[in-house]
Structure 1
Amino acid sequence: MSSPVAQPTQPQGYTVPVWLTAAARAALLTLRAEPWQRLQPLWLDPNNSNPENGPPPALVPVEAAAPLADGWVLAMAHCDPGPEVLDLTRGLALWVLLRWRQGPGDWLELRAGEGVGVLQASGEPCLSAYARQLLECNLRPLLPEGRCLELVVVIPQGRRLAERTSNAAFGVVDGLALIGTQAEVQRSAAPDQLGLALAELRERCGAEDFGGALVLVIGANGLDLAQQLGVPPQLLLKAGNWLGPLLVAAAEAGVQRLLLFGYQGKLIKLAGGIFHTHHHLADGRAEVLTALAALAGLGGAALQALHDAPTVEEALAQLDRLDGPRAEQLRQHIAAAVERRSLAYLARYGQEQMAVGAVLFDRSRRICAAGPAGLEQLTAMGMRP
């Protein structure tokens, strides 16, 4: 595919689909017995991959590409989310195995190898629409007429790293999802992401139809679930990890009722007074969970098992199997603690007029707990946990 002069690698870094596509393109060139370049020219906007219009392709680095036995080609890239971005994909090795596919079917058959997340309901690779479009606009023009491809993606560390994400809360198991809705990484832990959220908050609160209520959803997964549950779109505001400043700004902007809606393994940090929730900066989830469980009367081996579980989700699942009513009570304690600590945080900044509710969901996409204020706000929106 001929192209104009490509751009150097962007300093802000890229999402996983970009690194996947770069490695796959290098593999395809090798499969065609052509030389591959370390810097692969990629169209990053699937809707604008015409050399006559728009910006030229960007150059994205690939580590290696080489032929293997049985017609396979192996290529590898290392993910880089960019400078000053706290993201678990930094330095992550991503491998692709590519070969010609025989027989009828789509031009590309993509399979999940080790460490790549699959949808629990179907076993299909968890791949965003943007990732599919990126592969198509960069690979398909290089395909000889009538040829099809078989692509296997492997992320050697993916299964282990997935335990540090909320993928399982949305039915994605066995590894990291190949998701991303754009080329550049959204810097949820960076100050500029806070600025964007604050700007959107001010716009919402300044609208003529603003009624004083807001639902602060934690991350893209929380936004997706809230929309599916029927929360009115005009109430939804997606938050990154800067929850403390957003709480204060919401109160200052005139929000009267704020609902925190998020995954239980994330929101539990607020119950411990941690108001910047990125895992690189603060964790303490096991300690917060254990303290709340002890205050709720749990002790002995059950309390130790709770502390030693690999995730909050697994800890509560273990307690569910041991003592379902106690697990339900603990979830309610967590939600109530999130509300109390949020109000205390606001009071430190002289903002005590805003009501704060908390609603938690689990990995089965089920609302599993709501604090007193959260339950009241859910009921006002016509929903029940």
Structure 2
Amino acid sequence: MQFGITQSLTDLPSGLTLPVWVAAAARAATQVLCGQTFENPQSLQIPGRDQALGVPVQSAAPLQEGEQALAISRCDPGPGLDLTRDLEIWVQARWGQSQTGCLETDWLEIVPGEGIGRKGREGDLCASDFARRLLEANLRDLVSPGQCLQLEVVFPRGRELAQRTSNAAFGVVDGLALIGTQAEVQSSASPDQLRASLDALQLIAGASDFRGSLTLVIGENGLDLAHQLGLADQQPLLKTGNWIGPLLVASAEAGVSNLLLLGYHGKLVKLAGGIFHTHHHLADGRLEVLAAIALQQGLGVDLIKELLGCASMESALQQLEKRDCAEADRVWQAIAQAVEVRSEAYLKRYGAWPMRVGAALFDRQRQLRWTGLTGHSLLARCGLGIHLQGGEAGFDPSLR
């Protein structure tokens, strides 16, 4: 594989995503398996980029008399707060067993080892398309036609760290998901990320075929669900992680007339409490918002105290549903409505625009579960809808 000029990691303004560190260890292990000399740093080809990227690997060595090889890298996500910092990554490489040889399409098998996220207990490796393409791009030249390469990826602390994420809320179990859509880490709380989102918004709103409707999706899971629902076929999508307040104002200024907020309930609940920069390192208050709205909806004080004592929003939702599913739905519909009310109030601080803001929240199974009144209307315009238990009874304006 010829790369030409290689960019050093120290030249980058930010750190690298988890798939890059896995790919570096995978290539190092496969080189040793092929009998080649261990190289450090590894020169990686990044899909869609001409210049290679030099990524350090800690070590690599043959195992079982050269029948296998192991390489270790250590994740560096850059200066931001990230739980994968210094995460040790092990990749063990071996040739697959095949009497007939591997087809061109199945020459690479990735086995999720300890600490790697799976889709359900017996599910496949949870990896993004970028992660798979990155591995294929950097290993294909080391695997002869007809050979099968098997990689086992292990994150020794992955299971422990996954407990501090919302992975389980989206069906990812046993460890950290191998996700990421690009090589460099982009902090969703950084001003650069806001600038990129604002630039993307201007491109959308300035397009000749823009009709005034936009879906603002929160995070990768929101984006994935929006595509599954077919929302991308109905109106443009803009993904963000934080900076929701500035994007609301910018959307109104850009001429958006109907804005649908689509996100996981654990993120959007903050907006119901008036928290519009939602990065968890800067502002949380989710359980307190839930408790306030639960009180407005008539829940008992003892139950509200239990909710405040929950370790996470997910456990609070489970506690509510265990007691009374209909009551839980009523609370969450009220939260969705509060998101809409608070969003419109936020806009009025900065100007008078006719933009409608609707909210649609999904649960840990990525099922659309709750909307505000405007969100219900905007979904209907796209040919989508959910059943609202109790009619409009749950839509009580909240947290003024």
Q: CA contact under 8 A between 1:166 and 1:263: conserved in structure 2? A: no
Aligned to 1:51: none
Secondary structure at 1:282 match in 2: coil
Distance 1:146 1:250 in 2: 53
Counterparts of 1:300-379 in structure 2, within 5 Å, are: 300-351=301-352, 353-379=354-380
Secondary structure at 2:311 match in 1: coil
Aligned to 1:124: 124
The CA deviation at 1:152 is 1.4
Secondary structure at 1:156 match in 2: coil
**RMSD of aligned residue pairs (Cα, Å):** 2.6
Aligned to 1:58: 53
Deviation track 1:351-375 (CA, whole Å, cap 9, x = no partner) reads 4533211110012121111012211
Using the size of structure 1 for normalisation, the TM-score is: 0.88
Aligned to 1:246: 247
Counterparts of 1:125-140 in structure 2, within 5 Å, are: 125-140=125-140
Aligned to 2:74: 78
Distance 1:13 1:132 in 2: 20
Identity of aligned residues (%): 55
Secondary structure at 1:204 match in 2: helix
Counterparts of 1:135-146 in structure 2, within 5 Å, are: 135-143=135-143
Letter in 2 for 1:101: G
Secondary structure at 1:189 match in 2: coil
Aligned to 2:274: 273
Q: CA contact under 8 A between 1:194 and 1:240: conserved in structure 2? A: no
Of 114-123 and 324-333, deviating more is: 114-123
Distance 1:270 1:196 in 2: 22
The CA deviation at 1:311 is 2.8
Q: CA contact under 8 A between 2:69 and 2:92: conserved in structure 1? A: yes
Counterparts of 1:138-287 in structure 2, within 5 Å, are: 138-143=138-143, 147-231=147-231, 232-287=233-288
Q: CA, structure 1 residues 58+235, in 2 after alignment: closer, same or farther (shift >3 Å)?
A: closer
Q: CA contact under 8 A between 2:21 and 2:73: conserved in structure 1? A: yes
Using the size of structure 2 for normalisation, the TM-score is: 0.85
Deviation track 1:98-157 (CA, whole Å, cap 9, x = no partner) reads 233333454332111122111228611012232222222222322366543322111233
Distance 1:103 1:217 in 2: 44
Secondary structure at 1:215 match in 2: strand
Letter in 2 for 1:29: Q
Letter in 1 for 2:57: V
Q: CA contact under 8 A between 1:131 and 1:179: conserved in structure 2? A: yes
Distance 1:352 1:134 in 2: 44
Q: CA, structure 1 residues 238+153, in 2 after alignment: closer, same or farther (shift >3 Å)?
A: same
Letter in 1 for 2:19: P
The CA deviation at 1:377 is 1.7
Q: CA contact under 8 A between 1:74 and 1:96: conserved in structure 2? A: yes
Secondary structure at 1:281 match in 2: coil
Q: CA contact under 8 A between 2:214 and 2:237: conserved in structure 1? A: yes
Distance 1:128 1:344 in 2: 37
Aligned to 1:108: 108
Q: CA, structure 1 residues 184+193, in 2 after alignment: closer, same or farther (shift >3 Å)?
A: same
Letter in 1 for 2:110: L
Of 147-156 and 215-224, deviating more is: 147-156
Distance 1:211 1:249 in 2: 16
Deviation track 1:220-269 (CA, whole Å, cap 9, x = no partner) reads 32122122212245332222311010011112222222211111111111
Of 236-245 and 361-370, deviating more is: 236-245
Distance 2:273 2:301 in 1: 22
Secondary structure at 1:194 match in 2: helix
Among candidates 14, 22, 25, match of residue 24 of structure 2: 22
Secondary structure at 1:95 match in 2: strand
Q: CA, structure 1 residues 164+245, in 2 after alignment: closer, same or farther (shift >3 Å)?
A: farther
Among candidates 84, 88, 98, match of residue 83 of structure 2: 88
The CA deviation at 1:5 is 4.7
Confirm or deny that 1:99 pairs with 2:101: no
Secondary structure at 1:88 match in 2: coil
Structure 1 unaligned spans of 5+: 49-53
Of 190-199 and 258-267, deviating more is: 190-199
Of 123-132 and 181-190, deviating more is: 181-190
